[in-house]
Structures are given as structure tokens and as C-alpha cells.
Copies of this chain bind each other. A is one copy, B any other.
């Protein structure tokens, strides 16, 4: 594993998702890996950390998650814009060499052998599916418990994103529609007279 990649304390894992980035969803089952893009992923709880992700019923990755019960959510960088669009546009169910064609390299992290992780991202959340058949069938809504989290220490360190201190190529992507994204921007800290 790249030596820049460090574990993130589980109680701070929500911070990886809190600012609303577009994510990549990866899963593996029966020796088959796949990766898709998703804009609709969101933190759900702090401790144990949980998250939600909406997975279209046509997606091959969803099938792998339903079968294998595990998945990973990772945060792609501005440098991975084209990769993110590509994995969001073609289906691993139809294109057998999808990952190679999209330039995706996978790796595994210690303690999360079942979750394939996409190299080059800024952060990774390995999850186990919390089965909720009604949500999955009615809303395409999946809930995961985060069982391991890692980040590239060049952009997230000691529980904090460092977007303002690093190369803009590390910034997270925020999809609007049709391949149009915004990168995350400037840091802002509010002052709140009510806060104790």
C-alpha cells in the first residue's frame, strides 16, 4: 500500500464525506471486481460510522454488493475527473474489461480484504452492508457501516482536509449533471457568537 495512505480513526471517518463529494463505489464478489461513480452518497452516523448511498438497480456494482455484503466508498480527486466520468458511463455487466479501459487500479488495505479500493483517490471507507430490503427495493437506498477508513496524508491528515494547502489536483469533485462538476474551493471558518 502506498506509504502516504494512513488509517483514519473511525470516529472521524464522517469527515471524509461531510462536505458532499461525488464518490466511487467499489465491490467484489465471486472473484469479480467493479467500480461505479455515485453523487448520492452521504454520512448517516458518527459512531459507529454509517453512510447511505443510492445505487441504481441496473448497476452491476449493486449486484455485487447485494451478493457479497461489502463495498467501499472512496473520494476521487480532480486528477481523476475523466476516470470518474468513465466508470459512471459504462457498465461492468456489459464491458468485461471496464476497469482496465477506465484506467482503474485496485488495491487492498489491511483488515479490509473484501473491499477493493481504487488507487489514486484521496480517501477510502470500507463498509459492510446493513441489509434493509425495504429501502433497497423501494428507494435504491443502501446503508453501510464503515469498518475501516484511510486517507492520503498529502490531502487529509490528523482528521482534517488540507485542500487549501495542496495541489488543486487533490481537490474533491462535486457533480452537478451531465459531466459538469465543481471542485471543492476555499476554506471558510465561521464565527458564531452563540457557540460555547
Chain A residues proximal to chain B, CB less than 8 Å: 12, 14-15, 18-22, 39-45, 50, 52, 54, 78, 81-82, 84-86, 89-90, 101-102, 134-135, 139-141, 143, 159-161, 163, 168, 171, 173-177, 179-195
| Residue from the set A40, A90, A101 with the largest chain B CB neighbour count within 10 Å | A40
A85's contact among B12, B143, B163, B190, by CB below 8 Å, is which? B190
Partner of A194, one of B101, B159, B182, B193: B101
* A41 and B42 contact, CB distance less than 8 A: yes
Contact A186 B185 (CB under 8 A): yes
Complex partner residue of A179 from B134, B180, B189, CB under 8 angstroms: B189
**Pick from B50, B84, B163, B194: contact of A190, CB under 8 Å:** B84
A190-B181 contact, Cβ under 8 Å, with A42-B40, A134-B134:
yes
A143 to chain B, nearest CB (A): 7
B50 touches A19 (CB 8 A): no
A36 CB → nearest B CB, Å? 13
B194 touches A176 (CB 8 A): no
Number of copies of this chain in the oligomer? 2
Known A-B contacts A186-B182, A194-B101; A21 and B18 likewise in contact (beta carbons under 8 Å) = no
Q: What B residues does A139 contact at CB under 8 A? A: 44-45, 50, 143
Bound-state CA distance A173–B173 (Å) is 14
For A82, list chain B residues within 8 Å (CB): 190-192
Q: Report yes or no: A185 in contact with B187, Cβ–Cβ below 8 A.
A: no
- Least CB distance, A1 to chain B, in whole angstroms: 25
Closest B residue to A188 by CB, please name it. Answer: B181
Partner of A20, one of B21, B141, B189: B21
Whether A189 contacts B181 by the Cβ 8 Å rule is: yes
In the complex, A134 Cα to B177 Cα: how many Å? 32
